[in-house]
Structures are given as C-alpha cells and as structure tokens.
Amino acid sequence: MSQKVTLKQLAQILNVTPATISKALRDSNDISIETRKKVKALAAKMGYRPNIMARSLVSKRTFMLGVIVPNLQISFFSECVRGIYERVRRYGYEAIIMVNDENAENERKNLEFLSSLAVDGILIDAVPGNANHGILKDTQKMGIPFVSYDRSLDTLGFNSVTIDDEHAAVIVIEKLVADEKKRILYLGPTSGISVLKNRYAGYQKGLDENGLAFDPDLVIPCEIDQINAYNSIKEFIKKNIPFDAVMCVGGMIAYGAGKAILDAGYDIPNDIAITEFGDNDIVARLGVPFLTVYQYPYKIGSMAVDMMVGLIDNPAKHKKPVHKIIKSKLIYHDIGIKRKL
C-alpha cells in the first residue's frame, strides 16, 4: 500500500473488471453475494477509497454543499456553521466551508471555487452590496441552488432563513426605555444588507412606539469593524452630545464601542448601556453587562440545510422563493458583577 488504490487495481487482483468491483461495492444484485464479500474484504484490506472526483464526474452529484460565512471569529457565525455541518452530515452530504471575511472579492473567489467544485448547493451569508449579484445569478442559472441564511437576498429570489430583526430591535428599545434610557445611539450601517435595514427600521419604530423622538444626530454610521466602531464612538463623545445607550448592529461593533466608552471613563451600563445582536462571545471581553438579541444561530444553520436539501430533492420548489423567519430572544448578560459569600 504505497499509492492510491483504484478500482482497476482491485479488479486486476481478483481477475474481474472494474465494473464488477464498482457494482459489488454498491451492493448491486448484479453481483453474487460471494463475490461481493471477496471484493469488500479486499477493498478494506487494501484501504481502498473511492475517488470522489471520478465518481461525481459521471454521476453528476457531489454530495457536497458549499457554505459561505462572513467569518469564524464571531460566535454567531461559528454557531451557524455548526448547525449547518452537523445537519448536512445527517443527510449524507459534506459541508465545504468558505470564509468571505466581509469582502466581496473573497466572496467572488469562494463562489468561483464552489461552482468549479460543482457542489450540489450553496448556503450563503453574503457580503453587503450587490457587487456579486452577477455571479450569484449566473451560478444559480447554471443549476446550483442557493439558500441564504442570516442575511436574505430578496432581489435574487433565493430561499432564506433569517431572524425577526425589526421586531427584535423594537424589543431592545422597549427594554432600554424601561431602564430609563432616553437618548439611544444607533451605531452601524443603516443600509445595505437586509439585516441592517431591518434593524435600523426597528430602531426607528421602537423609538416611535415608546414616545421618543428620532434624532438623526444619534445615528452614527460605521463599518462592521472593531477599530472603526471604536473611533466612531470616540469622535462622537468629543462632541459632547449626551447619550445613555448605544444600539450596535453586531458584536464586533459593540466591542469597539464598549471599549471606547470604557476608555472615556464611563460606566457601563449605568452611564451608558450597550446592546448588540447575536449574543457574541467577544462582547463579554468588555467585562461589563450588556443586552443582546439571541438569534438561535444553530437553528438558523440547520434550517437552512433542511431548506437546501428540499430544494435539491425537489427543484420545483425553486419557483416561489420561501422565506423562513426565526424568532429571536432578548438576553441580559450580567457579566462583571463580583460575587461574594
């Protein structure tokens, strides 16, 4: 055993044709039971591993699902991925995980690779913007089905699994108001992907429903990036505009913002409360309590897989896109409270 074992080699040893081996291994009743036994025994002994590429070339199925995820550092995403690959395996597929790092160029390469690999379907949490809409559309037309998770891609007509962002944002505001907060900052992009738009809409709706006036000065656009969030808040604090809470669109931003607030000497959450979406581990690094929207990422992932498998098995469903929305849950993290006996 010093190079890869092939069907042909097994065939030669047993004095039959490769076809016989192939059929024997797949338990075709074209082949006698005894021959099957012999073949399987030899295959096991020689450590035979079928070549997926050769198989897929003819069978037109790879039983691989492409997964594109923004990054693996944010626990929300890694939980999604876990939901995906655990579920995928149950269906007899394998997940090919690719990271776009919130970068359209990377995502394009991911898509090109996955379509070159001829995966049976792609689960995607796409970057903001429409830079890749062309490739996405093309890839879909080539017969590769898509399901978008977390962030929906309505304009492309993909099936999707998302959360109730707008409603969740409203609930967050409600809770902040109940905590006597009155001047709530919104930190993050306000447009682009659906998630952002919905959260921003929820922010406005929440203010309205709770008798607070919308103040454009309290909306701070910033990129989805720690450093950028840090600097944005730092600059804002310099303006001396009073505020008592920051609603952040995600964990990275919440961490950067929280750090800036702490560095400025404020108390979280007494002076300024912070909230985020995703219940991300990284926010805990601040060591202060925070409010978060838990989005059941594992469930998002596994449901996206269910949807995809349905799509593959019954492409007719592709006609009308299906959108699943998962209900989120508000959580208050009491981190940093020292306990004593």
Partner DNA sequence: GGTTTTATCGCAAACGTTTAAGTTTGGTTG
Partner DNA sequence: CAACCAAACTTAAACGTTTGCGATAAAACC
- Binding partner of 19, given its own copies, DNA, none, CB within 5-8 angstroms per partner class: DNA
Count of positions on this chain that bind DNA (CB under 7 A): 30
Two tokens at 147?
């399901």
Q: Would you count residue 41 as binding DNA (CB under 7 A)?
A: no
Q: Would you count residue 29 as binding DNA (CB under 7 A)?
A: yes
Strand ranges in the chain using DSSP code E only, listed in sequence order: 64-69, 94-99, 121-124, 146-149, 159-163, 184-187, 219-220, 245-248, 273-277, 290-294, 323-326, 329-333
Q: How far is CA 263 from the centre of its chain?
A: 32
- Binding partner of 47, given DNA, its own copies, none, CB within 5-8 angstroms per partner class: its own copies
Phi-psi category of residue 29: left, alpha or beta, with phi > 0 → left and psi -120 to 50 → alpha: alpha
- Binding partner of 18, given DNA, its own copies, none, CB within 5-8 angstroms per partner class: DNA
Q: How many residues does the chain have?
A: 341
Amino acid in the structure at residue 26: R
Q: Would you count residue 13 as binding DNA (CB under 7 A)?
A: no
What is residue 298's three-state secondary structure?
helix
Which residues 111-150 are close enough to bind its own copies by CB under 8 A? Answer: 112-113, 115-118, 138, 141-143
DSSP single-letter state for residue 74: S
Closest separation between CB of residue 147 and DNA, Å?
24
- Binding partner of 25, given its own copies, DNA, none, CB within 5-8 angstroms per partner class: DNA
Contact indicator for 123, 149 with CB cutoff of 8 Å: yes
**Binding residue (CB under 7 A) for DNA from 27, 37, 45, 55:** 55
Q: Would you count residue 327 as binding DNA (CB under 7 A)?
A: no
Which residues 110-149 are close enough to bind DNA by CB under 7 A? Answer: none
Which residues 239-278 are close enough to bind its own copies by CB under 8 A? Answer: 262, 265-267
β-strand partners of 324: 161
Q: Would you count residue 12 as binding DNA (CB under 7 A)?
A: no
Contact indicator for 246, 185 with CB cutoff of 8 Å: yes
Q: Would you count residue 19 as binding DNA (CB under 7 A)?
A: yes
Rg (CA), the chain: 26
- Nearest to DNA of 31, 307 (CB atom): 31
Q: What is the largest CA-CA distance in the chain?
A: 86
Q: State how far the Cα of 112 lies from the Cα of 105, in Å rounded to an integer.
A: 11
Two tokens at 183?
């001047």
- Binding partner of 73, given DNA, its own copies, none, CB within 5-8 angstroms per partner class: its own copies
Of 161, 162, 156, 144, the residue nearest 311 (C-alpha): 144
**Binding residue (CB under 7 A) for DNA from 1, 58, 142, 316:** 58
**Footprint of its own copies on this chain (CB under 8 A)?**
1-5, 47, 49-54, 56-57, 62, 71-73, 75, 78-79, 81-82, 85, 89, 94, 96-99, 109, 112-113, 115-118, 138, 141-143, 262, 265-267, 281-282, 284-288, 333-341
**Footprint of DNA on this chain (CB under 7 A)?**
4, 6-8, 15-20, 22-23, 25-26, 29-35, 48-51, 54-55, 57-59
